Amino acid sequence: MLRVMARKRAVVTGGAGFLGSHLCERLLDEGLEVVCLDNFVTGGAANVEHLRERGPFRLIRADVTDYVHVAGPVDYVCHFASPASPIDYLQLPIETLKVGSIGTLHTLGLAREKGARYFLASTSETYGDPQIHPQPESYWGHVNPVGPRGVYDEAKRFAEAMTMAYRRTHDVDTTIIRIFNTFGPTMRPNDGRAIPTFIRQALHGEPVTVAGDGSQTRSVCYVDDLIEGVVRLLFSDLAGPVNVGNPYELTMKALAERIIALAGSGSEIVYIPRPQDDPTVRQPDITLARTALGWEPKVPLDDGLTRTIDWFRAHLAAIDAAVG
């Protein structure tokens, strides 16, 4: 007898944001039905408009700190909702703490009610300004809880603890990813993160503003690689936390120089003050992702930057109008 397999159903919070929208698209491509919950505080419906033609996709405007209700069966709950760039979470400090705490509680409740696998989008910022380099998952971090960035870092650390409590106490099938800096098309040009800022400045031939002396390092991952890591972890039975990011590390000055060169720009670099508690180094140890998920980044830095610059160039008029 033929057994009809029901289509799996995923709820993605923050699905109208940068990473969330790329994830929704990928899950639709994997044959899942996707329900996206977003309050559009830092994302927008435009990021997911094209998805309705891609598969069974529903966008619901909802603040997950109020309550979370989704009718019908749910197989996966992916909690991506949170302001994520320093400019955003410094402007929205209480909202950021709420979505990492109450939002995590509510979405864990949904996963428990539905018997779904729960996926927490955590961050390398849980490592703070690290004293161990590169950072393995076993490192507990070096975070200033009362500094301005504490609202984001501690919200995510709380979210991780709550996720583990639901796993241990309520037997919910949970996993935690620690995402390192990711970039790609559809990033907001004015979200204050280095790559979109540098690209926009370079495309306009304006000075490229590097914080401090530019010797602080970052390891940046192209969005397609990151989403591949997300789905591998989602469809695994690992509990995590698992680092996903590109271990290729470079200084901010070198990153600015690459962007200027790839954009074919004549911009010069100027130096601006460095934000408080800005991490000095950042590099993921991805041994666990490599061995347990068979994952590693494939897109070389220059390719990822070129694809992102091309997208920004193609959308520059709209981007400038949005930035004002």
Residues contributing to the site for ligand NAD (CB under 6 A) = 13-14, 16-20, 37-43, 63-65, 80-84, 88, 99, 103, 121, 123, 179, 181-182
Rounded to whole angstroms, the Cα distance separating 313 from 197 reads 13
Rounded to whole angstroms, the Cα distance separating 135 from 283 reads 6
3-state class percentages of the chain: helix first, strand second, coil last, to nearest 5: 40, 20, 40
Nearer to ligand NAD, 196 or 267 (CB): 196
Are 113 and 120 a contacting pair, CB within 8 Å?
no
From the CB of 308, what's the least distance to ligand NAD, in Å? 13
Please name every residue paired with 240 in a beta bridge, in sequence order, or none if there are none.
none
Nearer to ligand NAD, 33 or 125 (CB): 125
Nearer to ligand NAD, 125 or 265 (CB): 125
Residue 217: strand, helix, or coil: strand
Rounded to whole angstroms, the Cα distance separating 252 from 204 reads 19
Structure token digits, residue 168: 């241990």
Catalytic annotation, pick one of 76, 118, 127, 152: 152
From the CB of 194, what's the least distance to ligand NAD, in Å? 11
Structure token digits, residue 74: 């749910």
From the CB of 311, what's the least distance to ligand NAD, in Å? 15
Nearer to ligand NAD, 124 or 267 (CB): 124
From the CB of 205, what's the least distance to ligand NAD, in Å? 27
The yes-or-no answer on residue 67 being catalytic is no
Q: Which residues are CB-neighbours of 134 under 8 A, at least 6 positions away? A: 247, 249, 283, 284, 285
As annotated, the active-site residues are 152
